[in-house]
Amino acid sequence: MNSMLSCPYCTDLHTNLGRVAGLESSNSLNSCSGSIKVVEKLLASDPTLLSISKYSLAFHTSSGPPSTTFANDLVEGVGSGARADAVTSLCWFIRWGGHGGNTLNDFYRRLGRGDVMNKQFVFGAAFAIWYTPLFAIIVGVSKLLSIFPSGSPKPVSQLLGVVLGTVASAWIVPVGILGALFS
């Protein structure tokens, strides 16, 4: 899904995470450009992962949660309730991350061109002040992962998921709380 958002932070991090988890060609997963057929071929042996991947792909090719067909397939694959909700939440989280990385890159490109006399600059500056440390951590973790051996034990991947989710949440949750308070 990272390739669909064209976020270099996401693509680099998830390519390294895939390699550490043992994917032989994690670059090919990032270059599949949203092809459901590619996803089906790669995950045909695992119906649960296939349903999650198809739902995620449909989520990121639409402007939010996909059609009921994909939602029904997801529920059939992972069950209803908390697991299906977790997949949807993760899709929103990944979408936020990709848009966040692209927003930072756009701000720094504008700053480099001296394009600072507009309303977008104020938002971009506030966004950059808040989120640059998080994306710096993402870059650092990605560089660190590039030296990890391929096919690390499953607990390593699980621990990385918990740590990365917790770190990212430290930046997202306060903004969500502010949004809820002022909406």
Q: What is the 8-class DSSP label of residue 118? A: S
The band of 3, judged by pLDDT with boundaries at 50, 70 and 90, is low
Q: Is 4 helix (H, G, I), strand (E, B) or coil?
A: helix
| pLDDT above 50 (res 34) | no
The pLDDT value given to residue 33: 47
Q: Which domain holds residue 30?
A: 2-182
- Domain count across the chain: 1
DSSP 133-152: HHHHHHHHHHHHHTTSPTT-
Q: Give strand ranges (E) for the chain.
A: none
pLDDT at 107: 93
Residue pLDDT, tens place only, 55-85 = 888 887 877 777 788 888 888 888 888 888 8
Look at residue 8 and tell me whether its pLDDT is greater than 70. Answer: yes
Question: In this structure, are residues 18 and 29 in contact, taking their beta carbons and an 8 Å threshold?
Answer: yes
